Amino acid sequence: MNEELGIILETTSKILNKHVDHKLRQNIDNNNSDLINLWSEIEQLGLPKIAVKDKFNGSGLPLSTTLPIIKLSNNIGAPIPLSETILSNYILSESDINPPSGIITYAIDVKNLKILGNEISGELISVPYLNLTDKIVFITEIEKTKKVILIKNSGENKELKKNFLSEPRYNLKLNKCKILDMKTINLRVNFKHLGAIVRSAQMIGSMEKILDLCIDYCSQRKQFGRALSKFQAIQHQISEMAVELSASSAALSTITNSYDFYKNKKDIAILKIRAGAAAGKVIAISHQVHGAIGFTQEYELAYFTRNINSWRNDFGNESYWEDLLGKDFLENNNQNLWEYLT
Amino acid sequence: MSKFNFPSIKETNDLSNLRKEVRNFITKSLNDKDFEPSADAWVFSASPEFSKKLGSMGWLGMSFPKKYGGNERTALERYVVTEELLASGAPVAAHWIADRQSGSQILRYGNEEQKKSIIPKITAGECFFAIGMSEPDSGSDLASVKTKATKIENGWKLEGRKIWSTGAHIANYMIVLVRTSPASENNRHEGLSQFLVDLSLPNVSVKGIPDMTGQRHFNETLFDNVILSEDALLGVEGKGWSQVVGELALERSGPERFLSHFTLLESFVNEFKNILIKSGSKLIGKLIAELQTLRRMSFSIASMLQNGESPETQAAFVKELGNKFEKTMVETLREFSNIIPLYEWPSQLQNLFEDATLRIPSNSLRGGTTEIMKGIIARQLGLR
């Protein structure tokens, strides 16, 4: 498994490094042939269906195995919905729906959904990359049963959401949209939990890149006759970023190394809290040490900081998970804190 | 960044069973009133009797070879035992330094005679150590130490003073970092050596320094031309710097860097659980997340030590993050006194809180300051 993953990581890295540059990130459109070429190579490698069951022509790897790949993709800063497609396909496959080919995305939230026969109306909130696909997965409760729904959106009913993300995100009004497939969700699949894990892996990959950008920039940029990196005030700020990042990576490795991570709400909460808190510090420090150049579109820092700023709010921010984790302990009357921790 | 990974290590059933065993022992000790849980117990609360009991349970010098009276257990087993002791606020200060770092230094660098005579006593909880690094003029700048050892016939003459020697007044030995030859022009780390000094030797004097809490654990240790035998040299003459760096990895990476005040947090949540459910779950959740992350990082380092790696940088990460966590924790509890005034807290909890508040400034000084930790990390990042 590890060897197989190593090969996949190496190949992915080659493909992404070949195609991704900062220019590509600034033109995320489905008529951009560079982007289309990149995706088709990703598809040839089988990444979209890497966590999909064999019977649906997937690679059948556990979702935890895909986290290093997702992390890598966001370390390189590939402007493609890889994590969205992997997660959407996983959810479909686990719920016994054969995932369609190509890019597929999900709605993070839904509002006022009504189903009539084979048609659905209502609102889908925060749908990433809807400019590149029309296939959307979402989850909703119908008569006290959680359902996975797959639709193909046809109309011009989408509205580009203004957000602090580098990647496009949409809100969508559905009016009697045809349902392609709908099944009861596999109980192992908790969308919010999985989303929190994937977003954390994406944040960590991006933060590693941000740290590298800071080190490179501060080593080259000279002021007062010496490189910024030679100022202790700068060194200590960058060290603090590294500390935050290492704590987040430690929280991620607990999940990556566990095949039944989906059972463990505690570890997921810890990961999302830790990565989200780190993101806040990393954004502030990285912009501080970069000065004005970091605040421009032409330099790549902001691409990464804008993304992590958004992802830390997806699938529950730190407060949400802190409250959940605190209650998980406090409402359990049988254990004292040390027993709970160990 | 890959060099700063903290691989996830699972606690096996054997380790969990060991945990239970230690926990039962502590419960019994508490019932027998062997000790009163205290804050910062690994620095402030020494009980040679309790140390001896731990020795008889096989929980000191756990990873040392059987040949020298050790238990040949793993660094992960030692980690579990130390965690349980720290979490309960047990009086572990007497043996802490010997068990954590001095024993390992002797096993690594000492001669056969030293190993045979000292290691079994450490393992039995009958031999205690103090650290001999800081001096009146050398704190963070450790390479500037002036205490010196001069070669004489059949031995060495030791001259100088060490300061902030926690526990030296009850310790039997100190591993002393000294200059044995002048620093070379371009490398100040050359010419340093470590000596194993018996504190009962003539011309050694230990004088207490009350700390700001009024308690005694600090000392100044004076070496006024102390005559040392030839084999008091620990390791290689002139290689003291690299030896001391390895010792610091042991010193900085352990759970005492984030569990020093755990007894306070535990008593606090026990006392106010019902109120916290309504208005404090977020605060507690945040502390749990940080604490659990630190435990994993530190446990991961224990496994690196077990594999013979030298995780000096990773240790700096744990120390830096752990110190910060403890400060945040005390602050979080302080803010809670807005809801239930401090004078309404049970007196034992008030005491723990006040002790923690007073002692917390020292956590980011002892074992290397925040600034030194960040400097170590910056060097690894290639910034200096």
ipTM, interface predicted TM-score of the complex:
0.94
CA–CA separation, B62 and B336 (whole Å): 40
Strand, helix or coil at A176? strand
Q: What are the chain B neighbours of A274 within 8 Å (beta carbons)?
A: 289-290, 293
Minimal C-alpha gap between B297 and chain A (Å): 6
**Which of A:166-195 have CB within 8 Å of B?**
none
CB contact under 8 A, B277 and A330: yes
Indicate if A33 and A174 belong to the same structural domain.
yes
**Closest chain B CA to residue A75:** B1
Same fold, B131-240 and B253-380: no
- Per-residue confidence (pLDDT) for residue B1, from 0 to 100: 44
Residues in chain B: 384
Minimal C-alpha gap between A341 and chain B (Å): 7
Global pTM value: 0.95
Residue that the structure tokens 């040390």 belong to: A338
CB contact under 8 A, B375 and A239: yes
Q: Domain B253-380 is classified in which CATH homologous superfamily?
A: Butyryl-CoA Dehydrogenase, subunit A, domain 3 (1.20.140.10)
Helix (H) or strand (E) holding A203: helix A191-220
Indicate if A202 and A179 belong to the same structural domain.
no
Indicate if A169 and A226 belong to the same structural domain.
no
Task: Please provide the CATH number assigned to the domain covering B131-240.
Answer: 2.40.110.10
CB contact under 8 A, B296 and A254: yes
CB contact under 8 A, B321 and A247: yes
CB contact under 8 A, B4 and A242: yes
Count of the separate structural domains present in chain A:
2
Could you tell me which of B83, B132, B370 has the C-alpha nearest to residue B244? B132
CA–CA separation, A229 and A209 (whole Å): 17
Could you tell me which of A52, A73, A16, A47 has the C-alpha nearest to residue A137? A52
Could you tell me which of A127, A65, A113 has the C-alpha nearest to residue A90? A65
Task: Please provide the CATH number assigned to the domain covering B2-127.
Answer: 1.10.540.10
CA–CA separation, B314 and B257 (whole Å): 13
The CA-atom distances, in angstroms, between B123 and each of B55, B71, B82, B119, B165 are: 6, 8, 14, 6, 22
- Report yes or no: A340 at the B interface, CB cutoff 8 Å: yes
**Closest chain B CA to residue A250:** B6
Indicate if A32 and A168 belong to the same structural domain.
yes
**Closest chain A CA to residue B11:** A342
Q: CB within 8 A of A297, min separation 6: which ones?
A: A26
CB contact under 8 A, A326 and B281: yes
CA–CA separation, B296 and A122 (whole Å): 44
CB contact under 8 A, A327 and B382: no
Indicate if A152 and A299 belong to the same structural domain.
no
- Per-residue confidence (pLDDT) for residue A164, from 0 to 100: 56
Q: What are the chain A neighbours of B264 within 8 Å (beta carbons)?
A: none
The tokens of B72 are what? 């040949």
Q: Say how many C-beta atoms besides its own lie within 10 A of residue B171's C-beta.
A: 25
Indicate if A151 and A44 belong to the same structural domain.
yes
Among A184, A204, A224, the domain boundary falls at: A184
Q: Please, what are the averages of pLDDT over each run of 10 residues along chain B (384 residues)?
A: 78 96 97 93 96 97 95 96 98 97 96 95 98 96 96 97 96 98 92 98 97 92 97 96 92 95 96 93 97 97 92 94 97 92 94 94 94 96 93
CB contact under 8 A, B285 and A238: no
Indicate if A308 and A201 belong to the same structural domain.
yes
Among A129, A155, A184, the domain boundary falls at: A184
Indicate if A217 and A239 belong to the same structural domain.
yes
Among A184, A217, A237, the domain boundary falls at: A184
Measured at the CA of B304, the angle between CA B300 and CA B308, to 5 degrees, comes to 165
Q: Please, what are the averages of pLDDT over each run of 10 residues along chain A (342 residues)?
A: 86 97 87 91 96 96 93 97 97 96 96 93 93 94 92 80 74 93 89 96 98 98 97 98 97 87 88 98 98 94 95 96 97 91 94
Minimal C-alpha gap between A253 and chain B (Å): 5
Q: CB within 8 A of B339, min separation 6: which ones?
A: B275, B279, B280
Indicate if A261 and A164 belong to the same structural domain.
no
Indicate if A152 and A253 belong to the same structural domain.
no
Q: What are the chain B neighbours of A235 within 8 Å (beta carbons)?
A: 374-375, 378, 383-384
CATH number at residue A328: 1.20.140.10
Indicate if A167 and A212 belong to the same structural domain.
no
**Closest chain B CA to residue A245:** B1
- Across the A:B interface, residue pairs with CB atoms under 8 Å apart total 160
CA–CA separation, A194 and B8 (whole Å): 19
Domain boundaries, chain B: 2-127, 131-240, 253-380
Domain range enclosing A216: 191-341
Indicate if A161 and A230 belong to the same structural domain.
no
